[in-house]
Amino acid sequence: MTETRHRTGRVRRSLGLLLTSALTAAGLLVTASPAQAESTLRELAAQKGGRHFGTALTVNPLNSDSQYRSIAAAQFSAVTHENEMKWESLEPQRGQYNWAPADSIINFAKANNQIVRGHTLVWHSQLPSWLNNGGFNGTQLRSLMENHIEVVAGRYRGDLYAWDVVNEAFNEDGTFRNSIWYQGMGRNYIEYAFRKAHEVDPNAKLYINDYNIEGINAKSNGLYNLVVDLLNRGVPIHGIGIQSHLIVGQVPSTFQQNIQRFADLGLDVAITELDIRMQMPANSAKLQQQANDYKTVVNACLAVSRCIGITVWGIDDERSWVPYTFSGEGAPLLYDGQYNRKPAWYAVYEALGGNDDPGGSDPGGSDPGGSDPGGSDPGGSDPGGPSGPCDVDYVVVNDWGNGFQGAIYIRNTGSSPINNWTLQFSLPNVYLNNGWNGDWTQNGSQFTVRAPSWNPTIQPGQRAELGFVAGKNGNVSAPNQFTLNGNVCS
Ligand code: G3I
């Protein structure tokens, strides 16, 4: 399944064969599509020293929302279960396991050539009530914990790239959190957990993961001291997960320095749960600040060679955990609730080296509505007619060889409504089966889509989303040009 975006009139042609081969070899390139592809975030991250760019997924939208699925597949090369691999989800009753939701995310990741971070083996939160309220002593807790690692890490042995073996072990002042694990075993529980995980899944990278450890502070110092001690005693720990649940305008200034000091211990560092929340309602100033903040985080990671990847904590704002947890706050992710790319998306794209439209205006700031990166296109050479107040994205959602599903997004970039629109483009070697959100006709290679009677207008800043399924014969390229009411769209 692929989401391939194409910017009409300025198709990126810079991805050469060499790069494609390298990415394929690195296992991080999504399947090629019939259209010339715009770089995806996962491709760009792979070009930055083979880094991953990942997301947390949840099983419900994965099974029911094709847009969620296609973005998940196309843009991300790593996957973390948002909740499905937590103890409460896997073993809600003692000895009764519920593997299906976790499995389905792993199967999705395998099908889309994505690595998986296992989240999480030992945590104080989201424990089943039989465990939380069981009144177990230290010996029993150690045995339960080690058995859990044996069962879970054993079941998925070889499937996962990394495990968050221990999650959120620290208080803000750098002392150990008084979890049931700490109460039962003292700080030794951490060492026991890592040794057991390594014994069970010896090829997985083993991480300790926490929040509010982005900068150099009491909590990250506590973690640092623990990790030095673990390494000195030969405990198999390989990475630091810096969750990065951040607030707009408050990225710690020592973020990069902090990543570096952990890397200097010989460890991998991953940004594992990135989101940057704001007070609602969002406005363009906050969205721009958020874009800058995302860029700062990406740059901090890219500056340290052992910072091996970034995972954002979800795809779209609508499904984020933030509004449910922080009253009045939200909009922390790269896509809004309608899957429009936010300024933050463009900021990440640029920070990762995407340069679809060099010399164009700031790709995020003035374009929160979901068009592709880049602003104006002064050097563009769109032929064939007056340029219109429209911007068109062409996306191959899914390609199964002799057919494909496409999506076309028409955005009104002008200041007046566009009424009763007609979109025209050429797609040789393509045979329309079915089109929606417009009246579709095909005459040879010429396609015409007219506005549906129930939704004839695109308001300024809004977009119409069309979809179609077609057969194909041979190679299919994305249309060179789209016209809307006779005007060429950018
Ligand atoms: O599944 C039940 C559902 O049956 C019930 O009707 C509903 C009613 O509230 O709750 C549902 O469970 C919720 C679960 O998410 C799945 O949606 C829990 O209440 C809710 O507490 C839980 O929140 C998760 C949170 O971890 C729990 O601590 C968030 O989705 C998840 O994003 C969040 O993720 C954590 C990381 O694992 C660790 N780092 C911090 C991060 C953010 O808190």
Give 128 Cα–ligand 1 centroid separation in angstroms: 13
Strand order across the beta sheet in which 487-488 lies: 439-443, 446-450, 422-426, 482-484, 487-488
Give 83 Cα–ligand 1 centroid separation in angstroms: 6
321 lines ligand 1 (CB under 6 A): yes
Residues 203-213 pLDDT 10s? 999 999 999 99
Higher confidence at residue 468 or residue 67? Answer: 67
367 lines ligand 1 (CB under 6 A): no
CB 81 within 8 A of CB 119: yes
- How many C-beta atoms surround the C-beta of residue 460 within 10 A? 14
Determine the pLDDT at residue 266: 98
Instruction: In whole angstroms, give the CA distance from residue 246 to residue 151.
Output: 34
- How many C-beta atoms surround the C-beta of residue 12 within 10 A? 18
Residues 387-401 pLDDT 10s? 788 889 888 877 778
pTM equals 0.71
Clarify whether 91 is annotated catalytic: no
Residues 337-376 pLDDT 10s? 999 999 999 999 999 999 865 222 222 222 222 233 333 2
Tokens of 52: 């991953």
Give 94 Cα–ligand 1 centroid separation in angstroms: 20
**Which of 60, 85, 315, 321 has the most ligand 1 atoms within 8 A of CB, as the residue to mutate?**
321
Residues 278-333 pLDDT 10s? 999 999 999 999 999 999 999 999 999 999 999 999 999 999 999 999 999 999 99
67 lines ligand 1 (CB under 6 A): no
Give 54 Cα–ligand 1 centroid separation in angstroms: 19
Q: Which of 273, 329, 350, 465 is catalytic?
A: 273
**Is the pLDDT assigned to residue 27 strictly greater than 50?**
no
60 lines ligand 1 (CB under 6 A): no
Domains present along the chain, CATH in parentheses: 1-38+376-490 (2.60.40.290), 39-351 (3.20.20.80)
